[in-house]
Amino acid sequence: MTTSTQAASFAAGCTAFRGPLLHFLSEPGLGTPDPGSYSYFTDGLLVVADGRVQAVGEAAELLPQLPVGTPVEHSPEGLILPGMIDTHVHMPQLAVMASYGTQLLEWLETYTFPTESRFADADWSAKQSKVFLDLLLAHGTTSALVFSTSHKVASEALFRAAHDYNMAIATGRVMMDCNAPDGVRDTAEASYEESRELIARWHGTGRQRYAVTPRFAATSTPEQLTYAGKLMTEAEGLLMQTHWAENKAEIAWIAELFPERASYLDVYDHFGLLGPRSVLAHGIHIDDADRARLAETGTRIAFCPTSNTFLGSGLFDLSSARGADVEVGLASDVGGGTSLSMLVTMAEAYKVCQLRGQSLNPFQAFYMATLGNAKVLHQETETGNLAPGKMADFLIIDRAASPIQQLKHSAERDLSGILFDLMILGDDRSIRRTYIAGQCRYDRDAAQGAAHAGLSV
Ligand code: GUN
Ligand code: ZN
């Protein structure tokens, strides 16, 4: 597709980015992509002013309309993409990544809860929040729905750091008042009160949004789950995030803990935690009744492929979810997941689909990581593509960041081939620059050799 869209006039002081450019306008479908679902310009131009997209289209059409002297950054061999979005990731679990030899419940006890207990310390939380956001940017992720910990200071620190970067982050204080050790276990009342305080302080402040965050049904009493449901009724636009149906031992435990409920999903349903603003991570071991209830309530699933294979949890059934009209987002789930890169996540999603006899074409994968995930998180009016008026969160991609990609890089490669090479062979090296609201927040070449803590520019 080569149509262009443009605003009536460009503001003085705008900046422009020229090069191949792709963004999605709607869902491309699982088979041959609907050609109306995306715009691809082999020589495109993105015009940005005041943090927002002013215009996007053919360079030849738009360049003559720029005010004289407008800086134009040209990446003829690159690819301009909207920033990628992660629908489920844990800020305090960077150091938990690559923990050897366990499945979910033992992994939580052995590695995760001890690591999260450090976040009672406000200074540690502030440092780690900044490292986490710098790493998201270095991996091409410009927005995310994020778990923090059960310490109010950890959510506070993450909101503060995201606000300083003007980055759209949704997060919330983790609620977990049972079946967890000292250091991370809270009480139902404290989780409710502190969530309310954080909502009052941060929900709707700049680009920040609050997500009510009961960890999973195993670590919350009925009293705490009741509070979580109540919180969802107390402010407009809140999200809800939790874990669901990830591991068979987890599911058996939930059946013991909640014998009066018909299913794991019914636990969340009972406490008023399903709905279009709820994102349930995993949803691997589920049935058609679950899918029907998810579709009926508009509840979303975050598909976390690198986590699901690493923790040996199982293979998510994407095609049954899609067939039942369940909204599915793509997510890294670091630190159960093994990479913050949504490119790596797409590659693993493709492999999970292959193991299930399904497929994930590159158009669908890039749609999911951008506009699809924006819709899952209800932020598609501001992010997800580069339509005029949206926030200018975007990436300059290096299509030949590794020797193998250089070898495959050629002018003859069609768009599908370009995207498939990127999703299968790409990673954080592929991210040359990351822009948030028109500002460069990560520059790979400037950051090379810098310590991780100093990645942002
Ligand atoms: N279930 C409950 N807590 C967690 C967590 O931190 N990670 C994953 N993958 N699953 C969970
Ligand atoms: Zn998780």
19-67 residue pLDDT tens:
999 999 999 988 889 999 999 999 999 999 999 999 999 999 999 999 9
Give the angle 339-129-192 at the CA atoms, nearest 5°.
105
Distance 454 CA to ligand 1 centre (A): 29
Nearest-atom index, ligand 1, CA of 304: 9
Residue nearest atom 1 of ligand 1, based on CA coordinates: 243
pLDDT of residue 411: 74
Distance 179 CA to ligand 1 centre (A): 13
The rounded distance, in Å, linking the Cα atoms of 157 and 160 is 5
Q: What is the pLDDT of residues 324-376, one digit of tens each?
A: 999 999 999 999 999 999 999 999 999 999 999 999 999 999 999 999 999 99
pLDDT of residue 8: 45
179 DSSP assignment: S
Distance 397 CA to ligand 1 centre (A): 31
Token look-up 């800086």 returns 71
From first to last of the 457 residues of the chain, give the pLDDT tens digit: 334 454 447 988 999 999 999 999 999 988 889 999 999 999 999 999 999 999 999 999 999 999 999 999 999 999 999 999 999 999 999 999 999 999 999 999 999 999 999 999 999 999 999 999 999 999 999 999 999 999 999 999 999 999 999 999 999 999 999 999 999 999 999 999 999 999 999 999 999 999 999 999 999 999 999 999 999 999 999 999 999 999 999 999 999 999 999 999 999 999 999 999 999 999 999 999 999 999 999 999 999 999 999 999 999 999 999 999 999 999 999 999 999 999 999 999 999 999 999 999 999 999 999 999 999 999 999 999 999 999 999 999 999 999 999 999 887 889 999 999 999 999 999 999 999 999 999 999 998 756 555 554 3
**Do residues 371 and 24 touch, judged by C-beta distance below 8 A?**
yes
112 DSSP assignment: I
Q: Is the CB of 214 under 6 A from ligand 1?
A: no
pLDDT of residue 165: 98
Cβ partners under 8 Å of residue 323, min gap 6: none
Question: Distance of CA 335 to CAs 91, 94, 308, Å?
Answer: 8, 6, 11
Q: Is the CB of 215 under 6 A from ligand 1?
A: yes
107 backbone dihedrals φ, ψ, rounded to 5°: -60, -45
First to last CA, the chain: 35
C-alpha closest to that of 154 among 108, 114, 196, 198: 198
Cβ partners under 8 Å of residue 58, min gap 6: 2, 4, 41, 43, 44, 45
Distance 17 CA to ligand 2 centre (A): 36
Q: How many residues does the chain have?
A: 457
Distance 346 CA to ligand 1 centre (A): 20
Tokens linked to 426:
């790409």
Q: Is the CB of 217 under 6 A from ligand 1?
A: no
pTM of the model: 0.96
The rounded distance, in Å, linking the Cα atoms of 115 and 446 is 31
The rounded distance, in Å, linking the Cα atoms of 86 and 24 is 17
Nearest-atom index, ligand 1, CA of 250: 1
Distance 104 CA to ligand 1 centre (A): 7
Nearest-atom index, ligand 1, CA of 90: 6
The rounded distance, in Å, linking the Cα atoms of 34 and 25 is 10
pLDDT of residue 452: 54
Tokens linked to 275:
């709905």
Determine the residue of 246, 264, 268 to mutate for testing ligand 1's pocket, defined as the one with the most ligand atoms within 8 A of the Cβ atom.
Answer: 246
Query: Which ligand has the shortest distance to the CA of 307?
Result: 1
pLDDT of residue 7: 44
Nearest-atom index, ligand 1, CA of 243: 1
Residue nearest atom 8 of ligand 1, based on CA coordinates: 336
Determine the residue of 116, 215, 254, 332 to mutate for testing ligand 1's pocket, defined as the one with the most ligand atoms within 8 A of the Cβ atom.
Answer: 215
The rounded distance, in Å, linking the Cα atoms of 41 and 25 is 14
